Amino acid sequence: MDHVPHVGGKIRVLSDADLQSINRTARSILARTGIQAGSNRYAEVLAGAGADVGKDGRVRFSDRTIDNALESAPDRVLLHGRGDGPPLDLGGERVYLGTGGAAIRVLDLEDGCAREPRLTDLADIAWLVEHLDNIHFFLRPVVARDVPAEALDVCKFYTCLANTRKHVMGSAGTPESAEDVIELAATIAGGTDAVVDRPIISFVTSWMVSPLTLDLSACAVLSTVVERGIPVALSCAPMAGSTAPATLAGLLAQVHAEQLSGIALAQAIRKGAPVLYGPVPAVADLHTMGYAGGAIESALLNAACAQLAQSIGVPIYSDAGLTDSKLPDVQAGYEKGMNILLIALAGGNYIHHAAGMLESMLAVAYEQYVIDNDINGMALRALRGIAVSPETLAEEVIATVGPGGNYLTRAHTLAHIRTDEYFVAATADRRGRPAWEAAGCHDARAHAKEIAREILARPRTRFISREADRRIRDRFDLSACERPA
């Protein structure tokens, strides 16, 4: 992975006046409609931060309460991996792309059929992603259906951390299991302080059910994570037409209000808590009412959210790479290509779902990770833009070659062809037809499968040291992770 962050902010789908209107409306929603807290615990926390709590559990926010929360929320969050590269430096218009989802289906690499994911799939996908350079972090992509629910959180984080050095994010079902996961990560990171100073894990909590209602069990997890100082993404997923207004601007106003209230809650629990603004917006398909992740309107919404996050100075847990297709086909290619490029150009910071996803958030495929690694590579290349300098303008070499010559063997050519100037997609075929036919007429999906098989067949390295592993086993019963039901 290259060490200079990629920077977006090259496309703006909202004007400054639009941003102001949405922000103003969101604040008005918080003052007028408010959110439903539904529990004394969070209502009291928010009241302590200056919010107005009604008898019915409705919490309304003044501009001042929101401003105070934005004041204390960090504008930069660092998420660490355990490899050689620098941490993910989230904030501003800096762009990182990674996996996402809690998919309940995986397409088998050999027969192509959808089946339930197992813990071995989680390990294999982590190992695959470890070797794909344009996937920058690992958000737990599948739900291992062969692990009992009570052991799942520890097992899934352990499995992710054992098979990739990239930053690992996941959810926790209860505050207790969140504590366990933090302890597990601390053992690997070298202590509780180390995991807070250099978080190798982070959490995502679906703390709000749109519209404007706290999910109390997720809030309990959020509280624990925030109290412990571990970064957390405030995920909520309104759909235009069902859980948000049918108009895109209406959804943005609502989700911005939801996010501002979440930031206020997190900052009320612990001032300065590292949080990620986390809208996961989409339009509903009006025929099925399903989440239309691949729709171009969903991409527009996510690009707009990147701008909204930039406007308030809080890093964003962004979203691109969804498709409504059931397999890695033409639809998957054009939907992902469009939304990943658009959101990267807009400057989403921690762009999840940007590898492997199919069927909106319900399925993943091994070869899709390899294909998306290429789509991400193309998007990142677009972000790097065109370097213009005396060296790249190449006036000297143009004079040397002169009219009618060629540049093939010039030192200038050789100095630049293996640099960041060019990105070559591994799954793309650029050969002439005869060579392509001679090689068996394979498409990108077939190339991707070959690459996935090759990576999965490599001898595995465990990324948890023997010593840390022993200490983890002294503390946790990992039998469910090793002999799943």
Q: Is residue 102 at the binding interface for another protein, with CB under 8 A as the rule?
A: yes
Which residues have CB under 8 Å from 148's CB, separation 6+? 480, 485
d(C-alpha 395, C-alpha 484), whole Å: 64
Return the number of the residue (62 or 217) whose C-beta is nearest another protein: 217
Looking at 120-128, 160-168, 285-293, 448-456, which segment touches another protein (CB under 8 A)? Answer: 285-293
- CB of residue 285 vs another protein: minimum separation in angstroms? 9
Measured from the CB of residue 217, what is the shortest distance to another protein in angstroms?
7
Does the protein bind another protein through residue 485 (CB under 8 A)? no
Query: Running DSSP on this structure, what letter comes out for residue 351?
Result: E
Length of the chain as a residue count: 485
Cβ 242 to another protein shortest distance, Å: 6
Measured from the CB atom, is 130 or 153 closer to another protein? 153
Could you tell me the smallest distance in angstroms from the CB atom of residue 28 to another protein? 25
Q: Which of 86, 289, 391, 461 binds another protein (CB under 8 A)?
A: 289
Q: How far is the CB of 6 from another protein (least distance, A)?
A: 33
Query: Does 111 sit near another protein (CB under 8 A)?
Result: no
Contacts (Cβ under 8 Å, ≥6 apart) of 100: 139, 141, 319, 321, 352, 353, 354, 355, 357, 361
Smallest distance from another protein to CB 263, Å: 22
| Cβ atoms of residues 103 and 363 within 8 Å | yes
Q: What are the structure tokens assigned to 95, written together?
A: 């762009």
Site residue total, another protein (CB under 8 A): 18
Stretch 189-218: interaction string toward another protein, x if CB under 8 A: --------------------x---x-x-x-
Residue-wise DSSP of 393-408: HTHHHHHHH-TT---T
Nearest CB to another protein, comparing residues 214 and 266: 214
Q: Describe the chain by its helix, strand, coil percentages, rounded to 5.
A: 45, 15, 40
Among 242, 311, 331, 413, interactor with another protein by CB under 8 A: 242
Binding range to another protein, per CB under 8 A, among 86-94, 158-166, 182-190, 239-247: 239-247
Considering the rule CB under 8 A, would residue 362 count as an interface residue with another protein? Answer: yes
Q: Does 149 bind another protein (CB under 8 A)?
A: yes
Please report how close the Cβ of residue 354 comes to another protein at its closest, in angstroms.
Answer: 21
Write down the least CB distance from residue 408 to another protein, Å: 55
Q: Is 115 in the site for another protein (CB under 8 A)?
A: no
- Look up residue 6 and give its two tokens: 């990629």
Nearer to another protein, 50 or 173 (CB): 173
Helix (H, G, I), strand (E, B) or coil at 170: strand
Contact between 294 and another protein per CB under 8 A: no
Cα–Cα distance for residue pair 161/465, rounded to 1 Å: 11
Choice from 9, 245, 290, 484 touching another protein (CB under 8 A): 290
Tell me the closest approach of the beta carbon of residue 10 to another protein, in angstroms.
35
**Which CB sits closer to another protein, 55 or 287?**
287
Can you give 77-123 as a three-state secondary structure string? Answer: EEECCCCCCCCEEECCCEEEEECCCCECEEECCCCCCEECCCHHHHH
In the range 54-93, which residues lie near another protein by CB under 8 A? Answer: none
241 binds another protein (CB under 8 A): yes
Cβ-proximal residues to 31 (8 Å cutoff; 6+ apart), any chain: 60, 61, 62, 63
Shortest Å distance, C-beta 173 to another protein: 7
Query: What is the pairing mode between strands 317-319 and 350-352?
Result: parallel
Cβ distance 293 to 360 under 8 Å? yes
Is 202 in contact with 235 (CB distance < 8 Å)? no
- Told to check if 104 binds another protein by CB under 8 A, we report yes
Nearest-5° Cα angle at 89, 452 to 387:
80
- How far is the C-alpha of 77 from the C-alpha of 92, rounded, in Å? 10
Considering the rule CB under 8 A, would residue 370 count as an interface residue with another protein?
no
CA distance 197 to 199: 6
Which amino acid, one-letter code, is at 298? S
159-178 footprint of another protein as x/- string (CB under 8 A) = --------------x-----
Could you list the residues that contact another protein (CB under 8 A)?
102, 104, 143, 149, 173, 209, 213, 215, 217, 241-243, 286-290, 362
